Amino acid sequence: MRYGIVADIHSNLAAFSAVLADMERRGGVTELWCLGDVVGYGPDPCQCIELLRQQPHIAVAGNHDWAAIGKVDTSWFNPDAAAAAHWTGRQLTPEDTHYLESLPLTVAKDSFTLVHGSPRDPIFEYLLSTSDGEENFAHFQTQFCCVGHSHVPLVFELDKAGNCSLTEFPAETAITLAGNRLIINPGGVGQPRNGDPHASYAIYDSEARTVTRYRVAYDISATQSRMMEQGLPRRLIARLSYGV
């Protein structure tokens, strides 16, 4: 089976659509695994929820999903993120709200645990350092874990001796799943932050035992125009051009 792993769609319909089309071009997937933050920042929250729900999928909640439905206090957010979260909340239909409310924090599927931030703190923790990664291996039971939240494609690897290493997750290079435990971030679909403005996602092939990351060009200016129309913060519009 092949699974599409997507994180941080962030209401960016052009990016999400391009990622789904890219998966199709590569032979399709049986199911999408969505690592949270379907909404927030971008201009098309309802359309992104609708498109996600049209796919066979499992999903977990992210901090922006909770912020949009008033489940976390946006005083923790920077002013631009808070403004976008409040705008997003006003766009959602009751059905969208109900869908976001229903998302679990953690799902175990196959040999993977899926969370947004980290296994230790699924909503808020950013996994960006080797020490934080290492500590988090004690907080999930499966061999592998997928996280989002930082929007940076990374792989944490814990070997049999208990040593943790952290590497970038390169694009178009298959990671082979063997004996070591891994925490994998596929990068962000709708607001990449690794200095590369392409949308980023991964495919897990359960027969080949590989996870491969792909980067996908999408119409960034279409998303930026939609954000301008909606009066979303300028800094959020500009950053999409740079992937920061």
Site residues (vs Zn ion, CB under 5 A): 8, 37
CA-wise closest residue to 189 among 1, 3, 2, 22: 22
Closest CB to Zn ion among 116 and 226? Answer: 116
Determine the Cα–Cα distance for residues 134 and 146; give it in Å rounded to an integer: 14
CA-wise closest residue to 190 among 52, 27, 24, 86: 52
List Cβ neighbours of 22 (8 Å cut-off, separation of 6 or more).
201, 214, 216
CB of 150 to Zn ion, least distance (A): 8
126 to each of 17, 131, 148, 231, 244, how far by Cα in Å?
26, 12, 8, 28, 16
235 to each of 51, 131, 187, 228, how far by Cα in Å?
26, 31, 20, 11
CB 43 within 8 A of CB 229: yes
CB 237 within 8 A of CB 197: no
CB of 186 to Zn ion, least distance (A): 12
Q: Find the residue with minimal CB distance to Zn ion.
A: 37
Residue with tokens 């994180």: 7
Closest CB to Zn ion among 4 and 188? Answer: 188
CB of 73 to Zn ion, least distance (A): 17
Closest CB to Zn ion among 11 and 164? Answer: 11
CB of 37 to Zn ion, least distance (A): 4
Chain mean position to CA 84: 18
CB of 35 to Zn ion, least distance (A): 9
Closest CB to Zn ion among 8 and 44? Answer: 8
CB of 68 to Zn ion, least distance (A): 12
Closest CB to Zn ion among 22 and 65? Answer: 65
Closest CB to Zn ion among 33 and 164? Answer: 33
